[in-house]
């Protein structure tokens, strides 16, 4: 048989050990990390695993199920402690952990952010709903009412995903852009029309994702704490 035209010339099929769903999803995640979401097909994944693509349907009904499985696999790396009494500290830690997950798996971020929008909440894979359930439990334990907990969750994840997308834009989409180019570009803007952007050139060029996330979280969490005060616990 002639050699494959696969763009990854050093590719060697995996061993013939028994397949499991976790092994299939791990291989799918590796493929997405290396080549993007478009590369993930049953045929290509079969090549990566050295298996007949038809055998993979035992572990995922179709490509959509594979994508959902990859999402679950990534979110399973996110540790949430629902009974932690420091709800602000817990949400801050989760935010930083999710940011690091996104930076490790930037090609998976569209699955985390946009894919759920196409599926009704109750029909989504259970693994993708666990962070929501756990955070609602965390906020309930902190004394928030059910609806207030939902408000906190929505504001929190809206901010968090917005930050992650912005940071990936800074470092993934245009990684060659440096401080000098950024400043040069901003200083070419008309001064009277864009005075604030021009004045912030240094700050915009000196982007620290972790520090920026912390600053935003401080604003968000202090505002939520002031706006939605948890109920005091009753002692029995």
Q: CATH for 85-227?
A: 1.10.357.10
pLDDT surpasses 50 at 4: no
Structural domain boundaries in the chain: 21-73, 85-227
Burial track 104-131 (b if 16+ CB lie within 10 A, e otherwise): ebbbbbebbbebbeeeeeeebbeebeeb
Q: Among residues of the chain, what percentage have pLDDT more than 70?
A: 81
- Asked whether 37 and 111 are in contact (CB, 8 A), the reply is yes
Higher per-residue confidence, 21 vs 205: 21
pLDDT digits (tens, 9 = 90+) for 61-109: 999 999 999 999 999 999 888 778 889 999 999 999 999 999 999 999 9
Indicate the average pLDDT of the chain.
82
- pLDDT for the residue 207: 74
Q: When comparing pLDDT for 161 and 177, which is higher?
A: 161
pLDDT digits (tens, 9 = 90+) for 175-210: 454 454 455 566 677 888 888 877 877 777 777 889
In SS3 terms, 105-155 reads as CHHHHHHHHCHHHHCCHHHCCHHHHHHHHHHHHHHHHHCCCHHHHHHHHHH
Q: Residue 19 is encoded by which pair of tokens?
A: 């397949």
Burial class (CB in 10 A: 0-12, 13-18, 19+), 79: exposed
CATH code, residues 21-73: 1.10.10.60
Q: What percent of the chain has pLDDT over 90?
A: 44
The pTM of this model reads: 0.76
pLDDT at 231: 63
The pLDDT of 9-29, averaged and rounded, is 74
Distance of CA 141 to the CA centre of its chain: 25
Q: Are 105 and 74 in contact (CB under 8 A)?
A: yes
């Amino acid at each position: 048989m002639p050699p494959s035209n696969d763009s990854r010339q050093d590719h060697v099929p995996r061993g013939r050990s028994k397949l499991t769903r976790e092994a299939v999803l791990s291989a799918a995640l590796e493929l997405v990390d290396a080549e993007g979401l478009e590369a993930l097909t049953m045929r290509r994944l079969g090549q990566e695993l050295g298996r007949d693509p038809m055998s993979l349907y035992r572990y995922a009904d179709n490509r959509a199920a594979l994508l959902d499985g990859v999402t679950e696999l990534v979110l399973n790396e996110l540790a949430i402690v629902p009974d932690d009494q420091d709800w602000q500290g817990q949400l801050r830690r989760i935010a930083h952990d999710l940011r690091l997950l996104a930076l490790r798996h930037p090609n998976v971020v569209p699955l985390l952010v946009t894919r759920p929008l196409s599926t009704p909440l109750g029909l989504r894979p259970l693994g993708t709903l666990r962070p929501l359930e756990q955070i609602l439990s965390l906020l309930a334990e902190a004394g928030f009412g059910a609806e207030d907990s939902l408000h906190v969750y929505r504001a929190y994840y809206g901010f968090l995903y917005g930050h992650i997308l912005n940071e990936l834009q800074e470092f993934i989409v245009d990684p060659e852009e440096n401080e000098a180019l950024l400043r040069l570009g901003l200083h070419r803007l008309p001064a009277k029309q864009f005075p604030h952007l021009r004045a912030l050139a240094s700050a915009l060029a000196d982007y620290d994702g972790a520090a920026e996330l912390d600053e935003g979280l401080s604003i968000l969490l202090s505002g939520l704490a002031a706006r939605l005060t948890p109920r005091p616990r009753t002692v029995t």
